[in-house]
Structure 1
Amino acid sequence: MKKELRQAKIEQLINQRPLANQEELMAALKELGISATQATISRDIREMQIVKQQDAQGNLRYMIFKAHNSSEQDKLNKAIYDSVTAVILVEFMNVIHTTPRSANVLAAILDDLALEDIAGTVAGFDTVVVISPTRESAMKINTLFNEHLAHDELT
């Protein structure tokens, strides 16, 4: 099956019913007669910007990350304002604390920005570790976050 068709079915499934993990997504695809490996599903999830978020009933489920035509930098600024509670610089990394269940969305935004000062991100429940190639790069990221946090406190 072509990637575009598979990904269109994945988007349709995610919008139709709550799916909370790759196994549930693979089973739903199989019901439609679509066979895909875990590695393929994992790649699709990354390419399609699928994140886990809490739905209206409080359950975690896959959702496609969309930010209504705002620029990538605007997405980051909004995410900092909405969810970041603290930023701690540790050598060449920043440990960013967020509100519960917000870390994956923030990490996805940072990954999409593809900033040269970020080598990669690791997200958990309410924490994102941002790894930079150098201490100087990490300091730039720390300053970026702290400037937005300070600005948000003033408004």
Structure 2
Amino acid sequence: MKKEVRQSKIEQLINQYSIATQEELMARLKSAGIVATQATISRDIREMQIVKQQDATGASHYMVYKAGNQNERQRLYRSISETVTNYQRVRFITIVHTLPSYANMLAAIIDDLDLDAVAGTLAGHDTIVLISPSEPDAESVLAVFARYANPDLSEE
């Protein structure tokens, strides 16, 4: 089985079904006639930049994020508006707080955009640390969050 074919099927399955675990994904692949080991699935998930995201019911499932998508900046702005609760800059670092379980998804979008003002991201459950090459870069990153964050989500 060629990797491209397997990964294409993985993307199709993730877009078609709410898949929450690698075991579920392996079972769906097997039903489609594709047998793959857990290590292969794990590697595919990493290569394809698949992240877990909560849906409206609070259930987690896999989602695929692609770099270079024309709508990626709009997705970033929408995600900031829908998930960011607080943000601050400390010199060349921007610290962003999100609703629970959204930090990884937002960091993946930022990573995909490959912004010059962001040298790297670290994401946890509800916090992202964005490291910028300089303080002016960090200030421009903060300005994006200030522009698009929804004040109604701010932590009190």
Q: Deviations over 1:7-51 (max 9, x none)?
A: 12323443565543446545665675523463x544432443422
* 2:76 aligned residue: 76
Structure 1 length-normalised TM:
0.75
Question: Unaligned stretches of 5+ in structure 1?
Answer: none
8 A contact 1:6–1:34 mirrored in 2:
no
Q: Is the 8 A contact 1:54 1:61 kept in 2?
A: yes
Displacement of 1:79 after TM fit?
1.1
Are the equivalent residues in 2 in contact too, given 1:119–1:131 (CA < 8 A)? yes
Aligned residues, how many? 148
- In the alignment, what sits opposite 2:10? 10
Shift of residue 115, structure 1, vs aligned partner: 0.4
1:61 match: secondary structure = strand
Q: Could you say which structure has the greater relative contact order, defined with CA pairs below 8 angstroms and 6 or more residues apart?
A: 2
Please show how residues 26-65 of structure 1 align to structure 2 within 5 Å: 29=29, 32=33, 34-36=35-37, 38=39, 40-55=40-55, 57-65=57-65
Q: Identify which range, 86-95 or 17-26, moves more after superposition.
A: 17-26
Instruction: Give the letter for the 1:35 counterpart.
Output: A
The whole-number CA distance in structure 2 between the counterparts of 1:92 and 1:34 is 46
Write the distance in 1 (CA, Å) between the matches of 2:28 and 2:46.
Answer: 18
CA distance in 2, matches of 1:98, 1:23: 28
Q: 1:33 to 1:147 in 2, by over 3 A?
A: closer
Distance apart, 1:54 and its partner CA? 2.0
- Structure 2 unaligned spans of 5+: none
Aligned residues of 1:120 and 1:132 also touching (Cα < 8 A) = yes
Aligned residue in 2 for 1:121: 121
Q: Cα offset for 1:139?
A: 2.0
After superposition, the Cα gap between the structure-2 partners of 1:58 and 1:113, relative to the gap in structure 1 and judged at 3 Å, is same
Q: Which amino acid aligns with 1:5?
A: V
Corresponding residue for 1:98?
A: 98
Structure-1 residue corresponding to 2:145? 145
1:136 aligns with 2:136: yes
CA-based RMSD: 2.8
